[in-house]
Amino acid sequence: MKHLLYISVFMFTITAFSQTAEQEKEMNAIINYVQETQQEGTFAVENIRQQNDQGEEVVTTYYVDQKQIFCIIHNVYAKVQKETTYYLKNNELILSIIREDAAKPDEIYYFIKDKQLINPEDLHTDYPLEKVLQDCHILVERF
């Protein structure tokens, strides 16, 4: 059974003084792709529930269209709920949104092209790009 993917439309504020014109162009292209795909796509949804080594509940939701993963939402339910959303294009990570505390609006955005961070000035020391790429790869492989 297929379901229409509904993910709240995320709004980005890209300030001209912190991004080059080329960075802004690349980031806008990714935003447009994600928004258009969300609006036009009908996705099969698969939830996988398990526990991690710390005994915390982990729910991973895959949104798939014709065997292509479009989105993975990975939630860890601990004392503070952590949520990471991965958007893929042709099975390559293009955008990761990290919420350290899903109850708060603070988010970390990683725009990625060819496994390189487009917005390196937004790199968060607790979430190195290599770890984000590796975590996404593991989730794709598990599917």
Residue 44 to residues 9, 17, 105, 140, Cα–Cα distance (Å): 19, 40, 28, 15
Which residue in this structure is represented by tokens 């970390």? Answer: 108
Angle value at C-alpha 18, between 86 and 123, nearest 5 degrees:
40
Q: What is the pLDDT of residues 87-141, one digit of tens each?
A: 999 989 999 999 988 677 788 999 999 999 999 888 888 899 999 999 999 999 9
Q: What is the mean pLDDT of the chain?
A: 84
Tell me the mean pLDDT in the region 37-58: 89
Model pLDDT, residue 8: 42
Residue ranges of the alpha helices (H) in the chain? Answer: 21-40, 129-142
pTM, 2 dp: 0.84
Instruction: State residue 5's pLDDT score.
Output: 44
Computed from CA positions of residues 23, 104, 33, 14, in that sequence, does the dihedral angle turn out positive or negative? negative
Q: What are phi and psi of 55, to 5 degrees?
A: 80, 10
Domain that holds residue 68: 2-142
Q: How far apart are CA 132 and CA 113, in angstroms?
A: 13
Structural domain count of the chain: 1
42: confidence class by pLDDT, cuts 50, 70, 90: confident
